[in-house]
Structure 1
Amino acid sequence: FAEYVTVREDRALALKPANLTFEQAAAVSIAATTALQALRDKGRIRAGQKVLINGASGGVGTFAVQIAKSYGAEVTGVCSTRNVEMVRSIGADHVFDYTKEDFTRSGRRYDLIVDMVGNHPLSAYRRVLNPEGIFVIVGGPDGNWLGPMVSPIKALMLSPFVSQEFGMILAQLKQEDLNILSDLMQAGKVTPVIDRTYRLSEVPEAIRYLEEGHARGKVVINLEHDSKP
């Protein structure tokens, strides 16, 4: 954690939208870029598509819901009971409460699935993906669930008999993408969701909260708070 960093001006900088606080702006870069690149680059999202976001209430998921809506998609979010109304409030057309209903057995099908959770076998995701749909893996809460899925996903990617597409995303910060996100936020189409803000001295508490896996949107560390008497 640092108050100041040195970066190349032409790589990872964009002007902060005037309608965002510094706390909101701090929550944008990696999470929002990941959501944008997963939807646009890997998912090739188009207006009118049915898009499902698994992990819709998390840091990447809250951005993914809003960015997908900005593309004109019909968006379904998956989250827990306590987050259903929040996910609706940021634009989701439909919301599955995973504590009550398994979206992989709902009978609905999707053109694009962006998954941040990895809590179902690959066969279950394929069941709700349209024949020419795209499935994009972003990551998991503990960082290790992707391992068992890599081999079957690679096999499907190489198979000439599978019309569905499968991919993984590791975001790369690009100035042009930060500018796109800035425009979306200035237009009011995307707003960072901040769950909690902590002082620097409270970082251990913030990390413990994140490890519980129930954060809504982003958790922000405000260094300025510790500099005041």
Structure 2
Amino acid sequence: MFGTHDLWLFVVSGLLLNMTPGADTFYILSHASSRGFKGGLAAALGISTGCMVHIVAASVGLSALLVASATAFTVVKVIGALYLLYLGFKMIFQSASLVSSQRARFVSFQTIFWQGCLTNALNPKVALFFLAFLPQFVDQQAQYHSLSMLFLGVVFNVNGTLWNILIAWSATLALQKLTSDHFAIRWFHKTVGVLFLFLGLKLLLDEH
């Protein structure tokens, strides 16, 4: 179908990969806890948009050029790492006043969306993932490999987005019981902040 093979295996593998907890999951949870389902939804859609940037880039060959250029790869990696560090520090220092001052109410859904988008779009490791994963399911006899890659990427991203929306919805229901527990919410945001600091440092120190 669309120049691919073993599509069922691709879908199953993609679902399992999307269901594996990671930075995206905690980013969605952090905003679902402070802004409810709409906050989690904005985070999920932002993450999906960031992934779509890499999918399109991989399909047209831009990701391959990025990986082939050590300088370009390093520049994008450093920018992405610094942005993760920025988000980590922001979550840690804002968590102290997150509930008491209702500061979270002033974080727009648009800001949540674009932060989620940038955390993915500026991570060259995501580009590497799609370059390694998608071609395995493209039929070598396909007439248009780029369209086959794009089709697979869209399928992967749609499944991932649906899973992330489910996370946002489930988290909202679960965290409603903790809305009065300011201590738990503050420490949850601190934990997510520390996770982003770790991921930022890891990305910064990783070799190409």
Tell me the TM-score normalized by structure 1.
0.22
Q: Comparing both structures, which one devotes a greater share of its residues to helix?
A: 2
Choose between structure 1 and 2 for higher RCO, CA contacts under 8 A separated by at least 6 residues. 2
